[in-house]
Chains A and B, each alone.
Chain A
């Protein structure tokens, strides 16, 4: 999908595929043909004038000739019909096919982007790219761009023909065009700035609304309902005000330009009657120009009024291009079998984005196959980041992570991920059946295998309580499930996948007392015989780990087994002490305090 610089400007401006660009040119040609066919009625009307006016000079009217012109007119009507049908088909087919091609192309491209891209981008913006931006380009392609280009072409043809006929009147008709264009162009910079502000205001208002909806419980609890929510009201008000200013600027500019343009009718009447009086043009010529002047401005006016839309489109297509130009994930190496080898981090440094500070500042450790490594430390110490780097959601800024000696960065992302099961706290569920949501773990797993994994993860109890059992759809992002149920589905997926490396957030296993032992049991099954990296919150859980890495401020502060670390009396020992106190805490303490 990458666009090189050799691509024609129009194609690049609209972010079109090669095929789409060719069809668009075809559609423009077809529209131009229709516009030219629409000249036939004018030509015949002018000839009718000629025949009728003969009588006024004393000659006989040739009624036969009029019938002949009528017959020609009917043929002209047929021609208009056929041309219009042709351009209609071409423009719509072009627009919809191109929309499809672009959506498919972008969707295919998204597949190839590195995981880090999705973790750092606002996903609703990506959706807007695929849907909104492509849709607005579609409507411009089906109903605006071919017609506009064709109008330009046919107006030029008409202009040239009229000039050959009677240049002074042709000048009257078209003299106002440059002035009108000048007005539109002069206002362009101002409008562009307003459009940018409007886009900003719209994004802000949408974000505030979403914030409001997602935080509705807090909104209710804090009595900030509806207009009482000052940030939302302010954002909506700002959007309304800027929208009105944009409208004012655009409408005034387009109206002024149109008025100037259409004043050409008056000019033609002035100059035409003067020339007629002086005997310099004949009456049929004047009539022809009056006829043209009454109709020629329509298409040009629509060009003028569509220009602002085209300006806005350029912002949207720029976003499409930026997305298409996003580099795909690097690394092509085959990672099969590497999951059973030791994984080693060497002096890994990492920061999210350019602005943020370093989250990891030189982390090194090694995980032997089949052993458990626990990451502990205060929040913000970089525990989750380490796990995400091993999953290759991101790549280290410097240093390396290798498996069996092969640098992860050189491996194909999907190939590496086949070796890894990830059980983190945020579980993404799909609006599909429970069965399919678990089958995500391994495409092609039989229903029996899915059930077995679900049983092992203790999903069966709640799944069978659901209205349609295994065939129950979970709704948007699994809205029907509780946190604990979501986590068990996540574990079931991982069990089904049965990858040699397990990355686990231990918080996942802390639930209600009732479920806790069940889930712990499931986690134990998942981890048996695997290379496990666990982010631990409850230190007791990992006291049996083969090695404990204590992170603090992005560095490894301590490492060793539970016994080693307790003996050392450092950070780990302190954390264990705090936690023991916490576990003894109860609400009654508040009353006693």
Chain B
């Protein structure tokens, strides 16, 4: 997508990751800002289902032509599903970062962590500097 977009139904981590939280489960991805800074994503090697991931730690990588970037977990939990379609179409991360470009689904180990994530408005404000 060409223009910045930060859906209001998502929660945001300062390392440019989003979480769509539904009870004890959540979907993670990278924000419009992150994909724009990265440029065209050409490779995504999904992490393993069953892997435990921790808020604030890198859990996977996305690669553009030019560089590889760590992706930071916005919340802690266990990966229960990965977006396997991205192996063949990693450009979905650029084209639809909040939809078809989702990265993993996670069973949250501590849903109360959502308290420290930011709203769309708060996250967007951090990008204005």
The yes or no verdict on A and B being binding partners is no
